[in-house]
Amino acid sequence: MLFNSLHFLLFFPIFCYLYLTVAKKHQWKILVAGGYYFYGNFSPFFAIILFIITCNDFIAGKMMDKIQETSKKKKWLFLSMAGNLGILFTFKYLDFADNNIRELLAIFHIPWFVPEPYFNNWVVPVGVSFLTFQSLSYTIDVYKGITRAEQHFGYFASFTAFWPVMVNGPIERAKNLLPQIKEEHRFDYDRMRQGLFRIAWGFFKKVVIADRLAFYVDDLYLHYNEISGWTTILGGFFFFMQVYCDFSGYSDIALGAAKVIGIDVMENFKRPLFAKNLADIWTRWHISLSTWLTDYVFFYLGAYKASGKKVIFNVIFVLAICGLWHGANWPMVIAFTMVGVFMAIRYWWQANVLRVIKPSNSYKLFDKYFPDWMHSVVTVSLFVFCFLLFRVYTAQMMLNAQHPTAQVSWVTIAKEIYGNLFKLHTAGYFHAWMIHKGIVQFIVVVFFLIALIVIEALIGDEKIERVVLVKNKTQRWMIYIVLLICIVWFGIFNNTTFVYFQY
């Protein structure tokens, strides 16, 4: 079920009514039923996958709790990991692995026994990466002793089937979610107001900004050989903002929906546009994934405690994993690895050069005249530069499906896009944008983008619903009305899916 669908508009109030009125002992049942209905609505098969993941991790957690011996505990942990990662690998990475093995063997003229394309048509369960990572964090935490194993299957099933975050994050941790699930939740006017406002804000970002930007972003990749110079730069920024508004919009709706039913979920975005460096951007962008990778991969590798070279490797490696999590294709892996390389360069610069030059007067002068907003511009520009690769693979699939006789490789698309990017004396295809989409559409989308940036600058890192709800009644109502009008009048409502659904 999509958040931006009529189905959800009916589902949500019915769910809230049932959940907030039944006796405490039955509330988990409503959560589980709601979760399986929500997820099974995509396909009943997905609900079966969810059930398997739940059983696997519940049993592993319970066994680890019983056993004191670390080696035996480890076996259960591996079993849980094998289950989760096995599902993830089977549905998401098998085709990618198959293709790569085939291509590698072809170099040596060795035939590969799997017929082509064999795994290509396997349906990837929606949000499987989120589901498995959330569930996996539970067993790792139980193994490490951070969380006690849940003894009640119903509560654990509510945790894995917690529908607001199930398919698109934030990737919640058991230690935060499980205790809240066990509490009694009743209708609370203040929470309801906050939650509903947050949902509306999420919808604004999704249907007004992200879906309107999609017009231009689609063109950026479909007309990759015509778009150049400033149009590529603008298109790249539009793409960055599209993904940000789409994904953070989903997170806002998830947070708001959870808030309405009395549960606080972790924040997933904190104004990434205002990040001052690439390391900072990861504390603001998809926070639940970056903290997951930091906690379970980066720290496992030794984090910053290792030697200089090892740290550089760790940073790049974690970002490459992050890329692989986002998509089973090389452009995605390379995009994130590039971010990792930039981050590693920054680390090296800070460790070896900045330490030396920081006390000097010239550096102080530079620091004085290079304000925060310029740091943000450079950071976002670097991020956008890497991000251009993010959608190359999807574009390749789309183009090849449209023109089966003229197949194009992702390398060609990437080469063209990056090659055209630096033709700064041109703005290829901009005129076509204006003709095809109309100047009014362009003005509308730019207006809302600027409005979003200004609002984010004004509210700072505070939660938007808190900023709004402390205002006086007249101001509050004005904000409600304007927000509602913007969503309803300027939104796009033809059931477009969320970009991150595929992960």
Partner 1 sequence: MFKKLFQNKSVVKTIRNIGILLLILLVVSNIVRLMLPFYWGDATQTVKYEYYEKHKEQYNAVYIGGSLEYRHINPRIIDSIAQKNGLDFHSFNLGIDGHGIIQEMRDLDGLLEIENPNLKYIFFSISSEVYFFKANLHTPKWVSWQSAPTMLDALKILPSLNDPLKYRTKMGAFWISSWVENIFNIGTVPDMLKFYLDKSYLDSSYVGKNKDGHYPYDYEEYHLFMEYKWEDTLLLESRHRFEKGDPYTDTMNNQILRSFEQYKPDTKPNKAMVDLCMNAYKKCAKKGIQLIFMLPPKARTSYDLLLPVFNAMPEGTKISLADIRKYPKFYSIEYGYNFHHLNEKGANLLSEEFAKQLVPLLKSQLQIN
The catalytic residue positions are: 326
DSSP codes of every residue in 280-303 = HHTTTSSHHHHHHHIIIIIHHHTG
Using the contact rule CB under 8 A, the part of the chain among 32-40, 138-146, 192-200, 329-337 near partner 1 is 192-200
> How far apart are alpha carbons 393 and 327 in whole angstroms?
9
CB of 201 to partner 1, least distance (A): 15
Does 350 contact partner 1 by CB under 8 A?
no
> How far apart are alpha carbons 57 and 278 in whole angstroms?
34
CB of 438 to partner 1, least distance (A): 5
Using the contact rule CB under 8 A, the part of the chain among 61-69, 379-387, 432-440, 450-458 near partner 1 is 432-440
Residues 301-330 that bind partner 1 (CB under 8 A): none
Residues 12-41 that bind partner 1 (CB under 8 A): 17, 21
Does 480 contact partner 1 by CB under 8 A?
yes
Using CB under 8 A, which of 45, 299, 300, 493 touches partner 1? 493
Residue 425 or 473 having the CB closest to partner 1: 473
Residues 210-229 that bind partner 1 (CB under 8 A): 212
Does 488 contact partner 1 by CB under 8 A?
yes
Does 6 contact partner 1 by CB under 8 A?
yes
Does 478 contact partner 1 by CB under 8 A?
no
Using the contact rule CB under 8 A, the part of the chain among 336-344, 348-356, 417-425, 437-445 near partner 1 is 437-445
Using the contact rule CB under 8 A, the part of the chain among 128-136, 300-308, 452-460, 481-489 near partner 1 is 481-489
Cis peptide upstream of residue 170 (ω within 30 degrees of 0): yes
Residue 356 or 440 having the CB closest to partner 1: 440
Does 188 contact partner 1 by CB under 8 A?
yes
> How far apart are alpha carbons 372 and 370 in whole angstroms?
7
Instruction: Name the nearest CA neighbour of 275 among 341, 404, 374.
Output: 374
Do the Cβ atoms of 261 and 19 come closer than 8 Å?
Answer: yes
Phi, psi of 183 (to 5 degrees): -75, 165
Q: How many helices (H) and strands (E) does the chain have?
A: 26, 0
Using the contact rule CB under 8 A, the part of the chain among 35-43, 187-195, 237-245, 334-342 near partner 1 is 187-195
Does 300 contact partner 1 by CB under 8 A?
no
CB of 196 to partner 1, least distance (A): 8
Does 97 contact partner 1 by CB under 8 A?
no
Does 438 contact partner 1 by CB under 8 A?
yes
> How far apart are alpha carbons 32 and 353 in whole angstroms?
54
> How far apart are alpha carbons 39 and 127 in whole angstroms?
10
Does 279 contact partner 1 by CB under 8 A?
no
Size of the site for partner 1 (CB under 8 A): 28
> How far apart are alpha carbons 443 and 439 in whole angstroms?
6
Does 490 contact partner 1 by CB under 8 A?
yes
Using CB under 8 A, which of 26, 179, 484, 497 touches partner 1? 484
Neighbours of 44 (CB within 10 A): 10
Does 2 contact partner 1 by CB under 8 A?
no
> How far apart are alpha carbons 322 and 263 in whole angstroms?
28
Residues 135-154 that bind partner 1 (CB under 8 A): none
DSSP codes of every residue in 357-387 = HTTSHHHHHHHHHS-HHHHHHHHHHHHHHHH
Using CB under 8 A, which of 193, 223, 346, 463 touches partner 1? 193
The number of C-alpha atoms within 13 Å of 264 and in the hemisphere containing its C-beta is 8
Q: 324: which 2 tokens?
A: 């692989």
Residue 275 or 445 having the CB closest to partner 1: 445
For residue 451, the Cα-to-chain-centroid distance in whole angstroms is 23
Q: What is the 3-state secondary structure (H, E, C) of 265-279?
A: CCCCCCCHHHCCCHH
Residue 297 or 444 having the CB closest to partner 1: 444
Residue 78 or 477 having the CB closest to partner 1: 477
Does 450 contact partner 1 by CB under 8 A?
no
Structure-token match 């804000």, residue found: 201
> How far apart are alpha carbons 446 and 495 in whole angstroms?
23
Using the contact rule CB under 8 A, the part of the chain among 276-284, 328-336, 346-354, 490-498 near partner 1 is 490-498
**CA distances in angstroms from 245 to 65, 218, 317, listed in the order given:** 41, 16, 27
Neighbours of 428 (CB within 10 A): 17
Using CB under 8 A, which of 42, 153, 187, 237 touches partner 1? 187
Residues that bind partner 1 (CB under 8 A): 6, 17, 21, 187-189, 192-193, 196, 207, 212, 435, 438-441, 444, 480-481, 484-485, 488-494
